[in-house]
Amino acid sequence: MKKKEEAHRKTAQEVFAEPTAGVQEAIPTSPPIPQVTVFTTQGKTFTFKRIRRLVTNEFSISFDYEAMSDEMYKHATFFVANLAGYSKTY
């Protein structure tokens, strides 16, 4: 089972090689944004490091980030209705 899960994970090289064509709202992130902090309406705070392909629109904010647990790039999406705000550190 673990090998199957690892097969679906993307390495940093795979994430960087993917085209961003068709994503008009994408903020260029080369070099990556060092940190994004998300504040929810429930009072929780989430901090993500080494952000790639930050995309915002009127409904959501999404991005790829490097997980600290396994250093693999993962994708996160937050709906604006559930957010109090977010901040970017350059």
Secondary structure element (H or E) that encloses residue 40, with its range? strand 33-40
pLDDT, tens digit, 9 for 90 and up, residues 25-58: 555 556 888 999 999 999 999 999 999 889 999 9
Q: What is the total count of domains within the chain? A: 1
pTM for this prediction: 0.66
Closest C-alpha to 49, from 25, 73, 14: 73
* Domain span holding position 44: 2-89
pLDDT at 90: 82
**CATH code of the domain in which 8 resides:** 2.30.30
